[in-house]
Amino acid sequence: MSVAKVGIILGSASDSDLLEPCQAALDRLNIPHENLVASAHRNPERVAEFAGGARERGLKVIIAMAGLSAALPGVVAAHTTLPVIGVPVQAGALAGVDALLSMVQMPRGIPVATVAIGKGGAVNAALLAAAILGVEDAEVAAQLDTYREEWS
Ligand code: RP5
């Protein structure tokens, strides 16, 4: 099996509706991926271990999905200089606006590339990860071109 290039981390098993569309897009682009459920608040050590060891394990990009007070992408970004893409989950009283603002309003120095709330964001996170990989990987760039041609 190929070494995962994209790591997907979810703040809760209750976020897993967003995992499938993200994984499906990565599969379509032939990008190997791995995933983990770990909360920035409930399992901070596990999150730190995942992010801190990500580069050594061969990951190139991390996608972090979370809802409510969504600290997860920021905490992941605090533990790695790999690109981190945040996907706000549509959950709770504010339907993902809280998570969106948590992710997009990262303080200077620790960036998180934040995509749209929900399933569209989950797919775009996969496509953005592919675009980042495609800078150096011509095969992934070609797969992304094909995806766009088929989509439009
Ligand atoms: C966040 O809190 C998770 O990302 C999830 O979206 C939300 C609720 O989590 P559960 O209480 O369903 O585990 O950390």
Whether this prediction's pTM lies above 0.85 is answered by: yes
93-113: average pLDDT: 98
pLDDT at 2: 86
Q: What percent of the chain has pLDDT over 70?
A: 99
Tell which atom from ligand 1 comes closest to the C-alpha of 42: 14
Please name the residue whose Cα sits nearest to atom 1 of ligand 1: 67
Is residue 1's pLDDT more than 70?
no
**Ligand 1 probe mutation, 8, 14, 43, 72, most atoms within 8 A of CB:** 14
Greatest CA separation for the chain:
43
Q: What is the tens place of the pLDDT at every residue in 40-93?
A: 999 999 999 999 999 999 999 999 999 999 999 999 999 999 999 999 999 999
